Amino acid sequence: MSGGFLDFLGLGRPDASLRAAVPGDAEALAALHAGAFRIGWDAAEFERLLANRLTRALVATEGEKLIGFILLSGVAPEIEILSVAVSKHRQGRGIGGRLIASAFGTLAAEGFTTVFLEVEEGNAPAIHLYGRCGFTQIGRRTGYYRDKTGHPVAALVMRRDIA
């Protein structure tokens, strides 16, 4: 069996490695975030988040290059995904799914049982990824985001139990 589900699990592409994020990753995280979202967070914001004891973060690397990350924050038993990003040239290869699955394993061991997130209503690739990872929509926040023209866009609130 090749591609598809194996890639989603990260078994079809062994070239990406996962590890815990460290403060020295802040600049690379900011660059990756800026490439993935209309409003990127700067390195100082990532430094602040990584220094917070409530934050959990994993990065995906290809050699020394950071190609993806997941950033979460919360207090057991609940945690929220703050952001997931994968570099454009590596999207669709299972890295986002690997980051989520790996984070969930660690979170379950730490006593977390429920994961929440918010995603822009029109972000089909992210909604698809979260659905494949077992998230279900539990709410909708009208006008939570702004599109590139400044018009309000809803956020979908999603949830998944992990334990």
Q: What is the pLDDT of residues 103-141, one digit of tens each?
A: 999 999 999 999 999 999 999 999 999 999 999 999 999
Using pLDDT thresholds of 50, 70 and 90, give the confidence band for residue 76.
very high
Mean pLDDT within 70-99: 96
Query: How would you class 137 by CB atoms within 10 Å of its CB: exposed for 0-12, middle for 13-18, buried for 19 or more?
Result: middle
What is the reported pLDDT for 6? 55
Question: What's residue 38's pLDDT?
Answer: 87
Compute φ and ψ for 34, nearest 5 degrees: -60, -35
What pLDDT digit, counting tens, does each position of 8-53 carry?
554 555 579 999 999 999 999 999 999 999 889 999 999 999 999 9
CB atoms near residue 77 (< 10 Å): 14
What pLDDT band is residue 163 in, cutting at 50, 70 and 90? confident
Helices (H) and strands (E) in the chain, counts: 5, 7
Q: What is the pTM of this model?
A: 0.88
- Output the six-digit token pair for 162: 């992990």
Identify which of 82, 150, 68, 156 has the alpha carbon closest to the alpha carbon of residue 115.
Answer: 82
* Residue 9 pLDDT: 54
Q: What structural domains does the chain harbor?
A: 5-115 (3.40.630.30)
